């Protein structure tokens, strides 16, 4: 292996050294014949044992969840997990079947030493997080929780009890979308502590297109894309399942272009890499849009037909000129889910260049793309012109200066979009800043300007793959009669709510929370403030299968089943199939399914009569009531799912999803900007189109027009926590074989930054800012841009020498999306002299 450092290394070197060091001490050879490898005998055993297999699916949040799993059981124990090939897959190529090291490791997770076996209570008089526990019965646990909740409801109302979840278990009956939790919450009128992770992406997709991904994926991408632009995506590592289609596209002649400040594993695979200054993606987008508009490279036909670009915007109020401005009646049909943009029959108007007057957009023979016109005495300008004006200051030179790239690179990138079909593969590299919204909105504008939607090989999608969207199970069980929707509080606001007793000027408090399918106290930003907010509660209940940073801080921990110990079906996932998740083994100790836990809580709260159904009854009903057919037009039924195990919901040549937008036109101009969380104030005029401004914090250098952040002198390094491949957030971070590959946390440093600080590979360092610190080992990573440190995401408190990386991350955000801004974080790194 000349020239190759064996970095998996710890293992290679250790086992090699162990071997050589002991040469000459051959142990006694007697007795070595015990337990032979007799193949024939083993084969007989396999037959006799009659191994059973069960269908399941992966539910962690890699961002691409939904690998179909084959669970092998012998003598009542799971012995192996591998991929269950899709039912319609070619046996040789296995079609779109997939698996990864994390899904396979569920066999360990199921029997892990981290498993919680019984309901546990913090020993009275000991502090939260003190680690002193007593085992209690389910009856005691439920009684204590529901007695406390009843008291809270009487004193402060049901919204003082909060449901709190993130993406730990994506299924239908159990987990984050669990129908039991939804039913319990709406029966009681509980509040929700809303997670803000990835909300730049999730809310922009929802607000602008009512979808998380719009466009081609898989084989369609591979066959038709001419350009794939990865925006801050390390797809080869973070979304490896679908990465193969990018390579297929590349083999078919497509060019892959990456925009990323760092040289990543993905960078080693792509055709072009633009190394942008961190968090200047929206400036780059302004510059690209301007270049495309100024050089007549706009796909005019697409913009006129499919977007609100030609619609006339009244300059006095910023709203689109509509039939109602001429006194015409209209109906309100509904609203976009989530962002509540009204959907009406109030026709938008455009300027007809033949008739020389404003006409309903759908009746225009020759709609004008540009121009200002006076209609009804009001000055109106096309939405396209407003975008044109918004980006007009972004010359190639200015954009290049702000983004720290060359004008030629901007032209090259613009050409990638002009020479479509082009896929914008969006990721959360630029999605973890206060300015993320504008990056997502900007890529949407660019995609519309160049007509890269609704055609094979093109799109605007979550790291280049679209989501299951055609069929989904019916979820009405989660919304019972007389449902009460409680308030939604951002986790970022929780510390202020607990401190002030108000939220947006109104009284608010959280006296108790139930965390399930989530580990917010290990994953959410500004952890110390969050722990203080939790400390202000009377009762924190955490439901989990394994010990986590959140269970460690609970008052009562309820042990739930692992995926393989309960029944479920897939709900929302990033996969063109839907699945059944069969119960493969009995729970080992006192584990109960999430749904059974919510039944017990409901009984305790006096709603037992509304929770009569068993797990399988609810599942059967929600599958059979799902309204859309499968990819071949056949109904999806419970009987079919039981028999077929997985059913295709999206065909391979998928690229043209149904998008819900007002007026049936993509929103080049966001007429009614709305904050994700009701009541948050935003600058409506500014938010109707993308703009650039530096992020709240991660701006350590002076750039003409944008002076550096005032914290930068003290904290000159941007701290990122880039997703790694051995865990999905904190899930899988205690799998013993994976910790052999990566035994402990570390921070990766740029070569020069390390040298300047006298830090060498393996040195202990302190990473700190005003919010907190963490002590970890340092590694030198030649791929990091100077001024960037990376502490890969997913570690927990027990794995750090001292501190926690989420103690450093900020809560400051953007009121449009209340996005969690993990990378919008400045820090200093120094050699650590104390401790071990």
Partner 1 sequence: MRMGMVIDLHRCVGCHTCSVACKVANNVPKETWWNRVLTDGGEAIDTLGGEYPNASIKFFPVSCQHCENPACVKVCPVGATYKDPATGIVRQDYDKCIGCRMCMAACPYTGVRSFNWEEPQNYLDHNLGDADAPEHQKHVVEKCTFCYQRQARGEEPACMELCMARARFWGDLDDPESDVFKLVHSRESITLLPEKGTKPSVYYLV
Q: Which of residues 77-106 bind partner 1 (CB under 8 A)?
A: 77, 79-83, 85, 94, 97-101, 104-105
CA distance 484 to 570: 26
Assess contact for 164 and 513: CB atoms under 8 A.
Answer: yes
The residue range among 12-20, 140-148, 393-401, 561-569 that interacts with partner 1, by the rule CB under 8 A, is 12-20
In this complex, which beta carbon is closest to partner 1, that of residue 27 or of residue 685?
27
Positive/negative CA dihedral, 76, 80, 83, 85: negative
Assess contact for 462 and 235: CB atoms under 8 A.
Answer: no
Check binding of 16 to partner 1 (CB under 8 A). yes
Q: Shortest distance, CB of residue 9 to partner 1, whole angstroms?
A: 6
Distance of CA 627 to CAs 466, 471, 621, 703, Å? 20, 7, 12, 54
Alpha helix locations (H) across 661-735?
A: 684-687
CA distance 423 to 593: 40
Q: What is the DSSP track for 226-263?
A: SEEEEES--HHHHSHHHHHHHHHHHHTT-EEEEE-SS-
| Tokens 């939405």 -> residue | 383
Tokens representing 805? 């990386």
Length of the chain: 836
Among 209, 448, 534, 780, binds partner 1 (CB under 8 A): 780
In this complex, which beta carbon is closest to partner 1, that of residue 326 or of residue 737?
737
In this complex, which beta carbon is closest to partner 1, that of residue 107 or of residue 283?
107
Pairing between strand 77-83 and 68-74? antiparallel
Among 115, 121, 226, 269, binds partner 1 (CB under 8 A): 269
The residue range among 36-44, 122-130, 598-606, 620-628 that interacts with partner 1, by the rule CB under 8 A, is 36-44
First to last CA, the chain: 34
The residue range among 21-29, 308-316, 338-346, 633-641 that interacts with partner 1, by the rule CB under 8 A, is 21-29
Check binding of 795 to partner 1 (CB under 8 A). no
Query: Of 756, 556, 496, nearest to 133 (Cα)?
Result: 556
Tokens representing 787? 């001024």
In this complex, which beta carbon is closest to partner 1, that of residue 639 or of residue 740?
740
Check binding of 333 to partner 1 (CB under 8 A). no
Among 584, 641, 784, 821, binds partner 1 (CB under 8 A): 784
> How many C-beta neighbours within 10 Å does residue 43 have?
10
Among 136, 263, 659, 703, binds partner 1 (CB under 8 A): 263
Q: Shortest distance, CB of residue 351 to partner 1, whole angstroms?
A: 48
Among 294, 370, 779, 828, binds partner 1 (CB under 8 A): 779
| Tokens 């719009």 -> residue | 214
Among 415, 682, 783, 802, binds partner 1 (CB under 8 A): 783
The residue range among 279-287, 500-508, 610-618, 780-788 that interacts with partner 1, by the rule CB under 8 A, is 780-788
Check binding of 52 to partner 1 (CB under 8 A). no
Query: Of 181, 191, 190, nearest to 597 (Cα)?
Result: 181
Which residues within the stretch 737-776 sit at the binding site for partner 1 (CB under 8 A)? 737-738, 740-742, 746, 748, 750-751, 761
Among 43, 132, 639, 770, binds partner 1 (CB under 8 A): 43
Which residues within the stretch 497-536 sit at the binding site for partner 1 (CB under 8 A)? none
With the CA atoms of 408, 413, 415 and 419 taken in that order, what torsion angle do they form, in degrees rounded to the nearest 10?
Answer: 160
Contacts with partner 1, 683-722, as mask; x by CB under 8 A: ----------------------------------------
Check binding of 27 to partner 1 (CB under 8 A). yes
Among 91, 758, 782, 835, binds partner 1 (CB under 8 A): 782
Q: Shortest distance, CB of residue 248 to partner 1, whole angstroms?
A: 8
CA distance 389 to 369: 13
823 sits in the region (left: phi over 0; alpha: psi -120 to 50; else beta) called alpha
In this complex, which beta carbon is closest to partner 1, that of residue 43 or of residue 354?
43
Q: Look at residue 646 and give its three-state secondary structure.
A: strand
In this complex, which beta carbon is closest to partner 1, that of residue 593 or of residue 750?
750
81 sits in the region (left: phi over 0; alpha: psi -120 to 50; else beta) called beta
Contacts with partner 1, 285-314, as mask; x by CB under 8 A: ------------------------------
Check binding of 412 to partner 1 (CB under 8 A). no
Q: CA gyration radius for the chain? A: 28
Q: How many residues bind partner 1 (CB under 8 A)?
A: 91
CA distance 395 to 144: 64
Check binding of 39 to partner 1 (CB under 8 A). yes
Q: Look at residue 281 and give its three-state secondary structure.
A: helix
Check binding of 37 to partner 1 (CB under 8 A). yes
Which residues within the stretch 197-256 sit at the binding site for partner 1 (CB under 8 A)? 236-237, 240-241, 243-244, 247
């Amino acid at each position: 292996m000349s020239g190759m450092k064996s970095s998996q290394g710890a293992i290679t070197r250790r086992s090699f050294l162990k071997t050589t060091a002991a040469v000459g001490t051959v142990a006694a050879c007697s007795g070595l014949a015990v337990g032979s490898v007799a193949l024939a005998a083993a084969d007989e055993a396999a037959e006799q044992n009659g191994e059973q297999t069960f269908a399941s699916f992966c539910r962690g949040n890699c961002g691409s969840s939904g690998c179909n799993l084959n669970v092998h059981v012998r003598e009542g124990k799971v012995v192996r997990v591998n991929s269950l090939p899709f039912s319609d897959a070619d046996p040789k190529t296995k079609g779109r079947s997939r698996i990864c090291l994390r899904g396979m490791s569920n066999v360990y997770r199921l029997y892990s030493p981290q498993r919680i076996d019984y309901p546990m209570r913090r020993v009275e008089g000991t502090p939260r997080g003190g680690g002193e526990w007593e085992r209690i019965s389910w009856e005691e646990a439920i009684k204590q929780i529901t007695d406390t909740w009843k008291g809270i409801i009487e004193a402060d109302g049901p919204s003082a009890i909060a449901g709190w979840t993130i993406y730990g278990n994506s299924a239908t009956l159990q987990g984050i979308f669990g129908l039991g939790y939804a039913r319990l919450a709406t029966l009681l009128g509980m509040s929700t502590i809303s997670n803000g992770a990835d909300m730049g992406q999730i809310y922009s997709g929802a607000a602008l297109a009512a979808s998380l991904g719009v466009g081609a994926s898989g084989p369609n991408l591979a066959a038709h894309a001419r350009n794939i632009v990865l925006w801050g995506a390390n797809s080869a590592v973070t979304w490896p399942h679908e990465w193969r289609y990018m390579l297929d596209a590349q083999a078919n002649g497509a060019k892959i272009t990456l925009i990323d400040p760092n040289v990543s594993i993905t960078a080693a695979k792509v055709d072009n890499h633009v190394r942008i200054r961190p968090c200047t993606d929206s400036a780059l987008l302004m510059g690209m849009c301007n270049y495309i508009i100024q050089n007549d490279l706009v796909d005019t036909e697409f913009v006129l037909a499919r977007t609100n670009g030609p619609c006339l915007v009244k300059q006095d109020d910023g709203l689109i000129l509509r039939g109602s401005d001429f006194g015409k009646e209209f109906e309100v049909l509904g609203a976009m889910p989530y962002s509540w943009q009204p959907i009406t029959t109030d026709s938008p108007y455009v300027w007809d260049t033949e008739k020389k007057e404003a006409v309903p957009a759908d009746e225009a023979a020759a709609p004008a793309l540009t121009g200002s016109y006076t209609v009804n005495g009001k000055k109106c300008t096309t939405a396209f012109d407003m975008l044109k004006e918004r980006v007009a200051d972004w010359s190639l030179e200015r954009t290049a200066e702000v983004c720290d790239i060359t004008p030629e690179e901007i032209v090259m990138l613009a050409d990638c979009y002009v020479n479509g079909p082009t896929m914008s593969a969006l990721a959360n590299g630029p999605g973890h800043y206060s300015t993320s919204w504008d990056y997502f909105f900007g890529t949407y504008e660019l995609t519309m300007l160049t007509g890269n939607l609704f055609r094979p090989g093109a799109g605007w999608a979550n790291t280049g793959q679209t989501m299951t969207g055609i069929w989904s199970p019916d979820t009405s069980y989660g919304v019972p009669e007389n449902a009460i929707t409680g308030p939604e509080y951002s986790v970022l606001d929780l510390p202020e709510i607990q401190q002030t007793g108000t939220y947006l000027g109104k009284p608010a408090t959280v006296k108790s929370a139930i965390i399930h399918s989530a580990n917010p106290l290990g994953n959410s930003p500004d952890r110390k403030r969050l722990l203080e907010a939790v400390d202000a509660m009377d009762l924190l209940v955490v439901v989990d299968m394994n010990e986590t940073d959140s269970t460690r801080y609970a008052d009562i921990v309820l042990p739930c089943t692992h995926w393989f110990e309960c029944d479920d079906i897939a709900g929302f996932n990033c996969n063109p199939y839907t699945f059944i998740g069969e119960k493969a083994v009995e729970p080992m100790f006192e584990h109960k399914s999430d749904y059974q836990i919510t039944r017990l809580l409901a009984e305790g709260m006096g709603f037992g009569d509304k929770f009569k159904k068993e797990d399988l009854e609810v599942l059967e009903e929600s599958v059979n009531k799902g309204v859309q057919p499968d990819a071949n037009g056949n109904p999806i039924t419970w009987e079919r799912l039981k028999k077929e195990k997985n059913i295709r919901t999206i065909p391979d040549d998928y690229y043209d999803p149904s998008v819900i937008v007002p007026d049936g036109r993509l929103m080049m101009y966001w007429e009614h900007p709305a904050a994700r969380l009701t009541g948050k104030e935003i600058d409506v005029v500014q938010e109707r189109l993308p703009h650039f401004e530096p992020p709240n914090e991660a701006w350590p250098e002076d750039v003409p027009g944008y002076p550096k952040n005032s914290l930068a002198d003290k904290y000159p390094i941007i701290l990122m926590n880039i997703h790694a491949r051995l865990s999905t957030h904190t899930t899988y971070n205690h799998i013993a074989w994976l910790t052999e590959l990566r035994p402990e946390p570390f921070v990766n440093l740029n070569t020069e930054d390390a040298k300047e600080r006298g830090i060498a590979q393996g040195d202990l360092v302190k990473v700190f800012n005003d919010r907190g610190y963490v002590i970890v080992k340092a590694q030198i990573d030649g791929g990091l841009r100077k001024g960037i440190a990376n502490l890969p995401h997913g570690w927990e408190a027990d794995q750090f020498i001292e501190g926690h990386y989420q103690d450093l991350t900020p809560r400051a955000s953007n009121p449009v999306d209340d996005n969690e801004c993990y990378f919008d974080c400045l820090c200093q790194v120094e050699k650590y002299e104390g401790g071990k």
